[in-house]
C-alpha cells in the first residue's frame, strides 16, 4: 500500500555508545535504506522495466527478458528494445484517463465524507470522560480484527435490494420501494468511508485530545461564545490531524480495487479496477505496469504534501 | 477593626471601612467541592470597586479556584457570588465583564503575539484601527514591541507571561483577575511592571484581584490582602495591618519574618497582659485590649527588626531575654542574629548594618540581651 512508501529513514538517531562511529553506526543508519531498497525500490524498478516492455504470448508474458548469462551485452540489448509504447497507448485510449479522473473524484469525495463523519466522532471521543477514552479507542480499532474483505462483503447484505437497509427503511415507512444502492457509486462511497474511517478518526483524535482545555477557557474568557471558540481555536489547532487523516484516506482510496469491485457497478471505472483487468483478464502485464507507474507518479504529489505537513507539525510541536 | 493605625493619611482610599459602600464583588458563604474534596469552605469576602486585592496563601489553598469561580469556569457548590450587586449564578465566562490572566498563560499557539493580544477586542467587534492602537499600547506596556509577529513557541517564559498579561489587560475589563502574573519575570522587570499595573489600575479605575507567592509584591501593589489557608480566609486587611497586627500565628508567619513565643497568660492589668513563657524567667509584657482568662495558652509575635540586641543589660526595657548568639546571618544590608534563650527557643534579631562588618561587636557564642518595648509585640490568641 502506498502509505508504506512514506516511511522515511529517521533523520536523527540517538547515538548509543559503541555505535557512535565507524561501521556500526553506518550499518545502523543503513537499515531503513536497505529496507526501502529491497521492498520498495527493487519492485519499482521491476515494474518500471515491465512497463517499458512489449506484451507477448509466453511465460512471462512480456519481452525482452534479461538473461544474466548474456552479461553486459545482454543488458544493452534489452535496453534497446525498451520503448514508451505502452504509455502512448494509455494516453490515446480515453478509458485510462477517465479511470484516473474517476478515481481521483471518488477518492476526494469519500475523503471529504470520511472527514465529515470522522471529525465529530474524534471530537466526541476526545471530550469523553478520561476513563472511557481507552474503550472508545478500542471500539474504533476493533473492526481491524476481522478481515477487510469479509467486512466489505457484509455490506452487500446490508445494501442489496432485499438487504437490511431497504428492509428497515420500508418497515419504518420512509420509502415505498427499495433503494438501489448496491452497484452504484453511493455503495463505493459507503464502503470507502466505512473502511477508512479509523484512519481519519485516529489522527484527529490524537490532536483533539492534546488540545489544551485552558485555551478554550481563555477564548471564552475574552468574550468568545463556545461555538465561535470551536471555530477559531479548536478547528485551526486540529488542522494537522485533518491533513494527516485526509491523506491517509485519500492516498489508498485512489488505488482502491476491492471496494469498487465488490460494491460498485460495472459502470464505475476506477484505476485499481482497470489495472486488475489489464493484469488478470487481458494478461497485458506491460500496460498494467504502465498504469501502476502512472498511478504512483500521480500519488507522489499528495505523498510529498503529506510529508511536508508532517515535518511542519513536528517542527511546531518542538 | 480592633486596631487603629495611622500609617496612612485620612483621605486614603478605604471603601471597606465605609458602611455605605456596596462591595463590587461579594463571595457569600461560598463553598466549592471537587468530589469529596472541599477546595473552598464557607467563604465570605467583599472586594470593592477600584481595589487592588491580593490573595495570598500556600500552594493548593484555593486561590486559583476562587479566580475560576469569578471568571465563570467553575460554579460554587453552595453560596453566591455577586458582581455589582447582582448574582452571577451560572453566567458563562463570555457573558461576564471579567478577564483572567491564566497561571499557565494559555496563549493561542497558532496566533502571533499581536493576534493574541487583540483577540478579546476582535470578539467585541472593535474597529481594526482601534484594535491596532490598543495592541500597540499593550505591547509597549509589556515591552514586547520587537516580538509582534512571533508565535508563542518562539518566546521565552517571561515573554509569554507578558503576552498573557497584555492579552488580559487589552479589553480593560472592569474586573481583572491576575493569577501569578509576574512570577517568571526578573526582579527589575517585575518591579517595573508592578508599578505599571498599579498606574493602569488607578488611571482606568479598574478592580484587580491578584494571586501572588511573592509577599513583597503583595505588599507593594495591594490595597488589601486576604491571607488564605485550606480554602478559608484567615485575615483580610491592608498590608500594613497584616504586618503590624496579624490576627493569628498563621498570618503573622505568612507575611514576613516573625518570632513567636508561646506561653500561658499570667495576669492582665490595664492594657498590658503578661505572658509566662519559661520557667524562672520574667513574664513578657504585651500591650493588648483583649482580656482572656488567666492560664490560657497565648502567643506573642514580634518582628525581628523590632528587637534590640546588646551585650550589656539594658537599663530599662519592658521585656528582656538573656541568651547566647547561636548563629549570625549576613545578607548585606542586614545581619540576623539567632539568639538561643534559656528554654532553648531561638529568637531572630535583625540589625541593619550601619557599621562596617569588621567593627561588629557581637559575635558567635556571646552572651547577649534581647529586649523590646511592650508595644512592639502582638498578642495572639490563635
Ligand atoms: N478540577 C479539580 N478537580 C479536583 N481537585 C481540584 C480541581 N481544581 C483544583 N483542585 C484542588 O483544589 C485545591 C485548590 O486548588 P487551587 O488551584 O485553587 O490552588 P492554588 O491556591 O491556586 O495553588 P497554587 O498556588 O499552587 O496555584 C487543590 O488542592 C487542588 O488539588
Ligand atoms: Mg493557582
- Tell me if the bond preceding A64 is cis, omega within 30° of 0: yes
Over the stretch B125-156, which tens digit does the pLDDT of each residue have? 889 999 999 999 889 888 888 999 899 988 88
Within a domain: A14: no
Within a domain: A234: yes
Taking the CA of residue A225 and the nearest CA in chain B, the distance in Å comes to 6
DSSP string, B218-281: HHHH-SEEEEEETTEEEEEE-HHHHHHS-SSHHHHHHSS--EEEEEEEEEEETTEEEEE-STTS
Within a domain: A212: yes
CATH code for position A153 = 1.10.3720.10
Ramachandran quadrant class, B371 (left: phi over 0; alpha: psi -120 to 50; beta: rest):
beta
3-class state of residue B345 by DSSP? coil
As residues whose CB is below 5 A from the ion ligand 2, the structure lists B 64
Element at B87 (helix H, strand E): strand B86-87
CB-ligand 1 contact for B63 (6 Å cutoff): yes
Taking the CA of residue A202 and the nearest CA in chain B, the distance in Å comes to 22
Q: Hey, are the CB atoms on A318 and B153 less than 8 Å from each other?
A: yes
> CB–CB of B104/A214 below 8 Å?
yes
Within a domain: A35: no
- Residue A215 has its nearest CB partner, among B99, B108, B124, at B108
Q: Please report the sign of the dihedral spanned by the C-alpha atoms of residue B127, residue B129, residue B135, residue B140.
A: negative
- For ligand 1, atom 19, the nearest C-alpha belongs to B60
How far is Cα A86 from Cα B229, in angstroms, rounded to an integer? 83
CA B271 from centroid of its chain's CA atoms: 30
Banded model confidence at residue A204, pLDDT cuts 50, 70, 90 = very high
Q: Hey, are the CB atoms on B106 and A316 less than 8 Å from each other?
A: no
pLDDT, position A7: 43
Q: Which of B31, B37, B102 to mutate to test the pocket of ligand 1 (most atoms within 8 A of CB)?
A: B37
How far is Cα A299 from Cα A289, in angstroms, rounded to an integer? 15
Exposed, middle or buried: residue B25 (CB in 10 Å: 0-12, 13-18, 19+)?
Answer: buried
User: Closest chain B residue to A236 measured between Cα atoms?
Assistant: B110
Within a domain: A58: no
Exposed, middle or buried: residue B226 (CB in 10 Å: 0-12, 13-18, 19+)?
Answer: buried
Q: How many domains does chain A have?
A: 1
Within a domain: A56: no
Q: Is the pLDDT at A9 greater than 50, yes or no?
A: no
Within a domain: A235: yes
Query: Average pLDDT, stretch A170-179?
Result: 84
Please check whether residue B125 touches A, CB under 8 A: no
3-class state of residue B153 by DSSP? helix
Q: Which of A295-299, B139-143, B245-249, B266-270 has the lowest mean pLDDT?
A: B266-270
DSSP string, chain A: -GGGGG-PPPS-----TTSSSHHHHHHHHHHHHHHHIIIIIHHHHHHHHHHTSEE-SSSSSEE----GGGHHHHHHHHHHH--SHHHHHHHHSHHHHHHHHHHHHHHHHHHHHHHHHHHHHHHHHHHS-HHHHHHHHHHHHGGGGS-HHHHHHHHHHHHSTTSHHHHHHHHHTS-SS----TTSHHHHHHHHHHHHHHHHHHHHHHHHHHS-HHHHHHHHHTT--HHHHIIIIIHHHHHHHHHHHHHHHHHHHHT--HHHHHHS-TT---HHHHHHIIIIIS--HHHHHHHHHHHHHHHHHHHHHHHHHHHHHHHHT-
Q: Report the DSSP pairing between strands B175-179 and B98-101.
A: parallel
Grid coordinates given for B70? 469569578
Could you tell me which of B184, B209, B235 has the C-alpha nearest to residue B98?
B209
Identify the DSSP state of B375: G
Q: Which ligand is nearest to the CA of B66?
A: 1
Ligand 1 atom nearest B67 alpha carbon: 18
The residue range of the domain holding A185 is 90-316
Grid coordinates given for B287? 500591650
Ligand 1 atom nearest B65 alpha carbon: 18
CB-ligand 1 contact for B37 (6 Å cutoff): yes
3-class state of residue B309 by DSSP? strand
Over the stretch A104-132, which tens digit does the pLDDT of each residue have? 999 999 999 999 999 999 999 999 999 99
Q: Domains in chain B and their CATH numbers?
A: 15-250 (3.40.50.300), 257-380 (2.40.50.140)
Within a domain: A20: no
Over the stretch B47-89, which tens digit does the pLDDT of each residue have? 998 899 999 888 888 899 999 999 999 999 988 898 887 888 8
What is the interface pTM, i.e. ipTM, of the complex?
0.76
pLDDT, position A206: 92
What length does chain B have? 382
User: What is the pTM assigned to this prediction?
Assistant: 0.76
Amino acid at each position: 500500500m502506498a502509505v508504506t512508501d512514506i516511511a522515511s529513514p529517521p533523520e536523527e538517531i540517538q547515538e548509543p555508545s559503541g555505535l557512535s562511529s565507524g561501521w556500526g553506526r553506518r550499518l545502523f543508519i543503513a537499515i531503513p535504506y536497505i529496507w526501502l531498497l529491497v521492498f520498495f525500490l527493487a519492485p519499482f524498478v521491476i515494474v518500471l522495466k515491465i512497463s517499458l516492455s512489449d506484451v507477448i504470448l509466453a511465460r512471462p508474458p512480456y519481452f525482452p527478458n534479461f538473461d544474466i548469462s548474456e552479461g553486459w551485452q545482454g543488458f544493452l540489448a534489452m535496453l534497446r528494445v525498451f520503448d514508451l509504447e505502452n504509455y502512448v497507448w494509455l494516453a490515446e485510449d480515453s478509458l485510462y484517463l477517465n479511470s484516473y479522473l474517476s478515481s481521483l473524484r471518488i477518492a476526494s469525495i469519500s475523503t471529504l465524507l470520511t472527514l465529515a463523519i470522522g471529525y465529530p466522532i474524534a471530537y466526541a471521543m476526545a471530550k469523553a470522560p478520561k476513563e472511557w477514552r481507552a474503550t472508545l479507542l478500542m471500539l474504533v480499532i476493533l473492526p481491524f480484527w476481522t478481515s477487510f474483505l469479509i467486512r466489505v462483503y457484509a455490506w452487500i447484505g446490508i445494501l442489496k435490494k432485499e438487504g437490511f437497509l431497504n428492509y428497515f427503511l420500508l418497515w419504518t415507512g420512509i420509502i415505498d420501494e427499495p433503494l438501489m444502492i448496491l452497484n452504484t457509486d453511493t455503495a463505493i462511497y459507503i464502503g470507502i468511508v466505512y473502511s477508512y474511517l479509523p484512519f481519519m478518526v485516529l489522527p484527529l483524535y490524537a490532536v483533539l485530545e492534546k488540545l489544551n482545555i485552558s485555551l478554550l477557557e481563555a477564548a471564552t474568557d475574552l468574550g468568545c461564545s463556545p461555538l465561535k471558540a470551536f471555530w477559531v481555536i479548536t478547528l485551526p489547532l486540529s488542522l494537522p490531524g485533518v491533513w494527516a487523516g485526509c491523506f491517509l484516506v485519500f492516498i489508498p482510496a485512489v488505488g482502491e480495487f476491492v471496494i469498487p469491485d465488490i460494491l460498485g457497478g460495472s459502470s464505475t471505472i476506477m484505476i485499481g479496477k482497470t489495472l486488475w483487468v489489464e493484469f488478470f483478464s487481458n494478461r497485458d502485464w506491460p500496460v498494467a505496469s504502465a498504469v501502476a507507474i502512472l498511478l504512483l507518479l500521480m500519488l507522489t504529489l499528495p505523498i510529498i504534501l503529506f510529508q511536508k505537513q508532517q515535518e511542519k507539525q513536528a517542527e511546531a510541536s518542538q | 477593626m480592633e486596631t487603629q493605625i495611622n500609617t496612612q493619611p485620612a483621605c486614603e482610599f478605604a471603601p471597606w471601612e465605609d458602611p455605605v459602600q456596596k462591595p463590587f464583588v461579594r463571595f457569600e458563604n461560598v463553598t466549592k467541592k471537587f468530589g469529596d474534596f472541599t477546595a473552598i469552605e464557607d467563604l465570605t469576602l467583599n472586594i470593592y470597586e477600584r481595589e487592588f486585592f491580593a490573595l495570598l496563601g500556600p500552594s493548593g489553598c484555593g486561590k486559583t479556584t476562587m479566580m475560576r469561580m469569578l471568571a465563570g469556569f467553575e460554579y460554587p457548590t453552595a453560596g453566591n457570588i455577586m458582581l455589582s450587586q447582582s448574582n452571577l449564578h451560572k453566567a458563562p465566562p463570555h457573558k461576564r465583564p471579567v478577564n483572567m490572566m491564566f497561571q499557565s498563560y494559555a496563549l493561542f499557539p497558532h496566533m502571533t503575539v499581536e493576534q493574541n493580544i487583540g483577540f478579546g477586542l476582535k470578539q467585541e467587534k472593535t474597529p481594526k484601527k482601534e484594535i491596532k492602537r490598543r495592541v500597540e499600547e499593550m505591547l509597549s506596556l509589556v515591552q514586547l514591541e520587537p516580538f509582534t509577529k512571533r508565535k508563542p513557541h518562539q518566546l521565552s517564559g517571561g515573554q509569554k507571561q507578558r503576552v498573557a498579561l497584555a492579552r488580559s489587560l487589552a479589553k480593560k475589563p472592569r474586573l481583572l483577575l491576575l493569577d501569578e502574573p509576574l512570577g517568571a519575570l526578573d526582579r527589575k522587570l517585575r518591579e517595573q511592571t508592578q508599578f505599571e499595573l498599579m498606574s493602569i489600575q488607578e488611571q482606568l479605575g479598574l478592580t484587580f484581584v491578584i494571586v501572588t507567592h511573592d509577599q513583597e509584591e503583595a505588599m507593594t501593589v495591594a490595597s488589601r490582602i486576604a491571607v488564605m489557608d485550606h480554602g478559608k480566609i484567615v485575615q483580610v486587611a491592608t498590608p500594613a495591618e497584616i504586618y503590624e497586627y496579624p490576627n493569628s500565628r498563621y498570618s503573622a508567619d505568612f507575611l514576613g519574618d516573625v518570632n513567636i513565643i508561646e506561653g500561658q497568660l499570667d495576669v492582665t492589668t490595664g492594657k498590658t497582659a503578661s505572658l509566662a513563657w519559661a520557667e524562672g524567667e520574667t513574664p513578657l509584657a504585651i500591650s493588648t485590649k483583649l482580656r482572656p482568662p488567666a492560664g490560657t495558652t497565648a502567643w506573642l509575635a514580634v518582628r525581628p527588626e523590632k528587637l534590640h540586641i546588646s551585650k550589656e543589660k539594658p537599663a530599662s526595657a519592658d521585656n528582656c531575654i538573656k541568651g547566647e548568639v547561636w548563629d549570625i546571618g549576613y545578607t548585606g544590608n542586614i545581619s540576623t542574629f539567632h539568639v538561643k534563650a534559656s528554654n532553648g527557643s531561638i529568637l531572630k534579631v535583625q540589625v541593619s548594618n550601619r557599621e562596617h562588618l569588621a567593627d561588629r561587636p557581637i559575635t558567635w557564642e556571646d552572651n547577649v540581651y534581647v529586649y523590646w518595648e511592650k508595644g512592639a509585640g502582638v498578642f495572639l490568641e490563635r
